[in-house]
Amino acid sequence: MGYRTLLRDHRGLLSICFLAMFTSSLGQSFFIGLFQAPINERLGLTAGQFGSAYAFVTLISGFAVLRLGPSIDWMAPRRFALLVLAALMIGVGLLTLAPWWGLGLLGLGLVRFCGQGMMTHLGNTLAGREFVAMRGRALGLTSMGIMLGETLLPPLMAALLVMLGWRELWWLFGLLLAGCWIPLLLRATWPQAPGQRPARGQPRSGPQPFRDVRFWCLLPLLMTLPITMTGLFIYQAAMTRDLGSTLTVYALALTGMGLAKLPGALLGGRWVDRLGPVRLARLYLLPYALALLVAIAFGGHLGVWALMVGGGLAMGSQESVATSLLVRIWGSEHLGTVRATLSAAMVFATGLAPAFLGVFLDLGAHFSLILAGMLAFLVAGWALAQGVLASPEARGE
């Protein structure tokens, strides 16, 4: 069965998952970054203070996802979505209306936690848990919610800022999202939670990923793209300078990355269903590895375009591969717990990666050397994961 059949037979559930991913845009860095200057002015923070505060609330949201994310394994998904949406709207209100900077930062933290954290967790967990035969395709379609936000919202918000203030834009977008959620919350057919909440005082049943060697062996492979692409985004100026390119070319290449995510998601989802998540886990980073080689060997505009397009192709298929692999090894009934752990680990790693790379740049390292280190990290993560990928659990035996 193809995407057309999937959309025809499961339109309601896919709408929930897709809207959850699109709603996460409200807490994503690309969206908040559009309003950094007015938020700074509103909270009375300098650029450096805002950066430190942003890193702090992001790390706190990672711990919160680790603690609260597993609840989707026993909480009714409709209730879970309603609570996250309500907290997200409260965060928007605090961020835009709070008279004190502390409450404003609390609002920013809620927006990050509920947007980037829990809405993404909701969409991916439902798609990965409720679909079996077409899990890869469902995850591919679901991930396009974030792609739509990344492509549509920046130019739309920039155009609307000419007519509206930044707070009015946040209120308008929040109301539109709430208006889209209400029909789904009231009329859509929602799945049931797969398990029961652990009794108070009793330890949680199910996997404990941080105590599982298999999880640690898979983690570098699954974190390669988030960590290295974050470095490319943050240090775009140093990258273009050292590779002999320009920020204008980089901006155009970002559009190419967005376009490349679409075939990455659709083809990646189809191939996960056809080839299995284990086989694709061994292959999906290949376009990015080739892109790193091209950038190291040739540099220039070609290198920048290769990094963005190769990274986009791999990023498009990342979620289909990662979630399907987690289901294969740990089972769908515990997907919320394992995905929450993976999400938290990614938040911590992507928060620390820019600081780590910044040290090397401060020491005078050429960006080609940084790219070589990224390639070495990719190869090491791929090699470390092979034992788990070859295990009977991963092969479904």
CATH number of 1-188: 1.20.1250.20
CB 181 within 8 A of CB 19: yes
Alpha-helix residue ranges (DSSP H) falling in 161-192: 166-187
CA 183 to chain centre: 26
Q: Enumerate the domain spans of the chain.
A: 1-188, 209-397
Task: Tell me the Cα Rg of the chain.
Answer: 21
Q: What one-character DSSP code corresponds to residue 362?
A: H
CA distance 283 to 275: 11
Which residues of the chain, if any, have pLDDT below 50?
none
pLDDT, residue 196, reads: 67
Sign of the C-alpha dihedral computed for residues 133, 137, 143 and 149 taken in this order: negative
* pTM of this structure: 0.83
Give the count of alpha carbons within 13 A of 11, CB side only.
Answer: 5
The CATH number of 209-397 is 1.20.1250.20
Q: Which residues contact 48 (CB under 8 A, 6 or more apart)?
A: none
* Sign of the CA dihedral running 126, 328, 353, 268: negative
Say what the pLDDT of residue 81 is.
Answer: 94
Reported in sequence order, the residue ranges of 158-231 that DSSP labels E, i.e. its strands, are: none
Place of tokens 């930044």: 166
Q: How many Å apart are CA 368 and CA 292, to the nearest integer?
A: 9
pLDDT (0 to 100) of residue 203: 56
**Confidence (pLDDT) at 51:** 73
Q: What is the pLDDT of residue 374?
A: 93
At 162-202, the pLDDT tens digits run 888 889 999 999 999 999 999 999 988 898 877 666 666 55
